[in-house]
Amino acid sequence: MTLCLGIESTAHTFGASLVDDRGKIYSNASKTFTTKKGGLIPAKLADHHLEYCDRVIEEATQGFHDFDLISYSAGPGIGNALRIGSSMALYLSKLLKKPLIGVNHCIAHLEIGSMLTKLENPILLYVSGANTQVIAYEGGRYRIFGETLDMGVGNFLDSVARELGLGFPGGPKVMRLAAKSKNLIELPYVVKGMDISLGGIFTNVKQKIELHMREDICYSIQETVFAMLLEVAERALAHCEKTELVLGGGVCCNSRLQDMAKKMCKANSYKCGIPKNDFLVDNAAMIAWTGLLMHQAGVKTEPGIRPYERTDQVEVSWRN
Ligand code: AMP
Ligand code: MG
């Protein structure tokens, strides 16, 4: 058995997890930065992660004397936050003389979703704070078939929530208010080719905020933006001739988005894999699992962070 310690620190969450090469998850500890006002300020994130990193790693490794490998999120993400996780991983790898693997965070969402839902060749609808991408494996890489042209859907929901005075993270609060309405306000629906854009919708919502109930605003942004996401995902599935959709990213905790994904899949006889919330949000189990897959395929990585690494820059030698 090979046991890997994974460390996640791309943005708001510092996480640590132990996973073995059969996919058994022994621990999945985390501490997430939250704030009542403002968003993710890089220097504050780093302070938060520094404050909690030792406790989170201790919690994840409790009862284990040894592991074989260390992996960490190398990117994409916020530099200040990434540095804390990568430094801890590098330090531990030197101290304990264990191999070190830097993992792409977006790819890790796909790998854990695929493993947990037993879908072998799915398309990932990855919807998180900063990232919104439709990703599929084609020709030796994970390719991006569609993505946001400006902000991620999570950041969009958080920004609207901030305008409504709901605090961060706003996504869950938007979801709760949305459930109280069925009153659809017309908003721009912006799909360009295979990409989506949210900046115009955000401006439009800001103009309408005083004129409508908060519940109706929340309901309408969810209905509009989630429909855009599933339109792109559905077309990517058809284009790639794939039949499995897996969800990843914190926004996919949203029950309305999950319902819409299930409906779209059912209508096309596709399978729809939805991991539990703990593995949809940023988590270290996905970093440990992807680190194991890479290590077993003989992949070596340079230490350090890659804040701007795109999904399709990574050569994927661990699948065929
Ligand atoms: P991640 O970066 O993948 O951890 O996802 C964080 C984002 O997910 C934040 O923008 C949250 O507002 C959003 N989020 C979390 N839960 C929900 C939910 N139930 N509905 C919509 N967005 C959510
Ligand atoms: Mg993420």
The residue extents of the domains of the chain are: 3-109+281-319, 120-278
Q: Where does 120-278 sit in CATH, by number?
A: 3.30.420.40
How confident is the prediction for the chain on average, in pLDDT? Answer: 96
CATH topology agreement for domains 3-109+281-319 and 120-278: yes
Query: Once rounded to an integer, what is the mean pLDDT over residues 287-312?
Result: 97
Grade residue 168 by pLDDT with cuts at 50, 70 and 90: confident
Output the pLDDT for position 113. 98
Q: Does domain 3-109+281-319 have CATH number 3.90.1150.200?
A: no
For the Cβ of 146 lying below 6 angstroms from any atom of ligand 1, the answer is no
14, 28, 253, best to mutate for ligand 1 pocket (most atoms within 8 Å of CB): 253
82, 157, 257, best to mutate for ligand 1 pocket (most atoms within 8 Å of CB): 157
pLDDT tens digits along 16-43 = 999 999 999 999 999 999 877 767 789 9
pLDDT tens digits along 97-123 = 999 999 999 999 999 999 999 999 999
Nearest CA to ligand 1 atom 5: 250
| Residues 6+ away with beta carbon under 8 Å from 151 | 130, 159, 198, 199, 202
Of residues 39 and 274, more confidently modeled? 274
% the chain with pLDDT above 70: 99
pLDDT tens digits along 52-65 = 999 999 999 999 98
- Evaluated on CA atoms 161, 248, 221, 225, the torsion sign reads positive
Query: Once rounded to an integer, what is the mean pLDDT over residues 272-287?
Result: 98
pLDDT tens digits along 83-100 = 999 999 999 999 999 999
The pTM for the full model equals 0.95
Query: Once rounded to an integer, what is the mean pLDDT over residues 193-217?
Result: 97
Output the pLDDT for position 167. 81
